[in-house]
Amino acid sequence: MTDLVVRPLEAGEETLFTSLPDRGLVGRKLLGKDYAEMALRGEYRPGWSWVALRDGVVVARAAWWAGPDDEEPIALDWFDFTDLDAAVQLLTTAPFRAEYSLTTPPAWQDDPDVAHEVTIRVEAAEKAGYRKLVERYRYCWTPESGLPERPGRLEFRPEPDDDVILDVFRKVNADSLDAHVRRVVAEQGVEAAAQEDLDIMRWMPAPRDWWRLAYTREGDLVGFALPSRNHYDPVVGYIAVVPGQRGHGYAYDLLVEATHDLVAQGADRIVAATDVPNIPMAKAFAKAGYPVTQHRIDLV
């Protein structure tokens, strides 16, 4: 067998990366994203885009993503191949250890072609040292879904002090159902998990003053609704209820408020996500008219 060459792209080699056919069943192509366009925006970069070649032909490729202003890649989200061993070698050779986020259709297990594409990617990632953390629902609200009526049970107030927001993150993360939060808490503690979540929210390119804390009519803290934007869409950045207020369905109130706020800012689509095992949050999204448009499998 011809020796395998594994290397990052050089500047101007975008067509080499895109030379591997992609059926668009899973991954970034499923979201209608184009590698070359994203590279022009600085979201993919030559040093973060790797290929494995035999006789000059790409048999595996991987691209790590970040925002245009970021200095390090945030996630592996473009990964496919025609040679499993080459794919494993590519992942173990590239120096990045960012999370692998694999986008799939809903009920991907029911379509044999899609299930195969998912299975072989997960297999290659696991052979390279990744492990599956969680599967997530990805939602996309549009006006056709209807704007849910505000329940009117809570009062929402802006909170400009990051220390106050950080303290709420500490409270909600101490007993979170979110797999990413639980992992950070287990490995680094509640404080690190809270700071990481605050940093992510501050990283998003949206006004800080969109964030709201929620209170009962008696003035007791319920949680927060942090609507935002990512680099593509308005998003429900974070919804969380503090432990002492859970069991009252307040996650729905928070989600509805975030939806109204984003619509008031001109949103005609709103993207959101939650872990599949997070049943209370999934119920809130369903009740608010957020359809599941994709799933996402996260491997770490």
pLDDT tens digits, one per residue of 196-253: 999 999 999 999 999 999 999 999 999 999 999 999 999 999 999 999 999 999 999 9
- Judge whether 220 lies within some domain: yes
Q: Which of 130, 164, 183 is at the close of a domain?
A: 130
Query: What is the percent of the chain where pLDDT is above 90?
Result: 96
265 C-beta neighbours (distance < 10 Å), count: 13
- Judge whether 58 lies within some domain: yes
Which CATH number covers residue 33?
3.40.630
Predicted local distance difference test score (pLDDT) of residue 30: 86
Predicted local distance difference test score (pLDDT) of residue 1: 58
- Judge whether 189 lies within some domain: yes
Q: Are 199 and 271 part of one and the same domain?
A: yes
Rounded mean pLDDT, 93-108: 96
Predicted local distance difference test score (pLDDT) of residue 33: 84
- Judge whether 203 lies within some domain: yes
Residue 63 predicted with pLDDT over 80: yes
- Judge whether 75 lies within some domain: yes
Predicted local distance difference test score (pLDDT) of residue 79: 97
Instruction: For the chain, give the mean pLDDT.
Output: 96
Q: Which of 130, 165, 180 is at the close of a domain?
A: 130
Residue 2 predicted with pLDDT over 90: no
Predicted local distance difference test score (pLDDT) of residue 220: 98
- Judge whether 137 lies within some domain: no
Q: What residue type is assigned to position 251 of the chain?
A: A
What is the rounded distance in angstroms from the CA atom of residue 241 to the CA atom of residue 247?
A: 9
What is the rounded distance in angstroms from the CA atom of residue 240 to the CA atom of residue 225?
A: 7
Total of domains in the chain: 2
Q: Are 289 and 152 part of one and the same domain?
A: yes
Q: Are 287 and 164 part of one and the same domain?
A: yes
Residue-by-residue DSSP string for 252-293: HHHHHHHHHHHHHTT-S-EEEEEETT-HHHHHHHHHTT--EE
Beta strands in the chain (DSSP E): 5-8, 49-54, 57-65, 75-81, 99-104, 132-141, 155-158, 212-215, 221-229, 234-241, 270-275, 292-299
Q: Which of 130, 153, 186 is at the close of a domain?
A: 130
Burial class (CB in 10 A: 0-12, 13-18, 19+), 93: middle
Q: Are 38 and 178 part of one and the same domain?
A: no
Q: Are 189 and 240 part of one and the same domain?
A: yes
Q: Are 216 and 87 part of one and the same domain?
A: no
Q: Are 150 and 246 part of one and the same domain?
A: yes
Write out the residue range of the structural domain in which residue 204 sits.
144-295
Q: Are 12 and 91 part of one and the same domain?
A: yes
- Judge whether 92 lies within some domain: yes
> Shortest CA distance to 50 belongs to which of 40, 60, 41?
60
- Judge whether 135 lies within some domain: no
Q: Are 106 and 155 part of one and the same domain?
A: no
Which CATH number covers residue 195?
3.40.630.30
Reported as a pLDDT band with limits 50, 70 and 90, residue 31 is confident
Predicted local distance difference test score (pLDDT) of residue 39: 94
Q: To which residue do tokens 């070649």 refer?
A: 53
Q: Are 285 and 179 part of one and the same domain?
A: yes
Q: Are 245 and 163 part of one and the same domain?
A: yes
Q: Are 94 and 233 part of one and the same domain?
A: no
On the CB side of 127, how many CA atoms lie within 13 Å of its CA?
Answer: 15
Rounded mean pLDDT, 151-164: 98
Provide the whole-model pTM. Answer: 0.94
Give tens-digit pLDDT for 118-137: 999 999 999 999 999 999 99
